[in-house]
């Protein structure tokens, strides 16, 4: 299936998806990288990998709906069937989320349902949790609240800073996201009545 990766910045998760999907047996193709920021570093990395790119700058659009209509048009133009949000920093309206319901996933840098929203690593350190991690989940209208597909945990180590913790988790993100996309794309994980169910062979 044809997948678009939506980014706003660095795009390291995007790179891990592109690399995984370049394997001949991978059940999905990264057909487009779309950024809402013209200066996103990930765009150049996508071009280098030979992936089609598009920029829909939210600043060029008067409303969120208008911005999302423009994104939706580009996604349709490229025959996109599935979306991976990867560091995409715009909140999506219910219209867009419903339109892509069951066909849009996100990676979030915490063990959901803990630490929804931003600054997850700072908040994890403030709370003193000893286990932290990342989650891939389906996107629903409520922020960072959708059905969970995959998670990875890491220890919090004495002396950790936001940066050291983020870096330890990012390593896990880079293997978790392709793994989750693979499971959804080959049917070994699927959405049923608002929950993710896993096939027995997995």
12 is in an annotated binding site: yes
User: CA–CA separation, 120 vs 183, rounded Å?
Assistant: 26
Judged by CB under 6 A, the residue of 13, 35, 36, 185 near ligand GRF is 13
Judged by CB under 6 A, the residue of 1, 2, 12, 19 near ligand GRF is 12
Q: Residue 178, interface with ligand GRF (CB under 6 A)? A: no
Residues 95-114 that bind ligand GRF (CB under 6 A): 107-109
Is residue 202 within 8 A of residue 186, CB to CB? The reply is: no
Q: Residue 122, interface with ligand GRF (CB under 6 A)? A: no
Residues 153-172 that bind ligand GRF (CB under 6 A): 170
- CB 11 to ligand GRF: min, Å: 5
187 is in an annotated binding site: no
36 is in an annotated binding site: no
């Amino acid at each position: 299936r044809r997948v678009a990766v939506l980014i706003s910045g660095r795009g390291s998760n995007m790179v891990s998806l592109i690399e995984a999907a370049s394997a001949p047996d991978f059940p999905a193709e990264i057909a487009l990288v779309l950024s809402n920021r013209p200066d996103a570093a990930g765009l150049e990395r996508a071009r280098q990998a030979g992936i089609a790119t598009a920029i829909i700058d939210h600043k060029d659009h008067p409303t969120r709906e208008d911005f999302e209509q423009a994104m939706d048009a580009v996604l349709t133009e490229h025959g996109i069937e599935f979306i991976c949000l990867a560091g995409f920093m715009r909140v999506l309206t219910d219209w867009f989320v419903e339109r892509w319901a069951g066909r849009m996933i996100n990676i979030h840098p915490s063990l959901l349902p803990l630490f929804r929203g931003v600054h997850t690593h700072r908040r994890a350190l403030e709370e003193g949790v000893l286990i932290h991690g990342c989650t891939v989940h389906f996107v629903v209208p409520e922020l960072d609240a959708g059905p969970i597909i995959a998670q990875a945990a890491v220890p919090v180590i004495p002396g950790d800073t936001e940066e050291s913790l983020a870096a330890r988790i990012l390593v896990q993100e880079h293997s978790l996201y392709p793994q989750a996309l693979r499971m959804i794309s080959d049917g070994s994980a699927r959405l049923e009545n608002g929950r993710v169910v896993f096939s027995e062979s997995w």
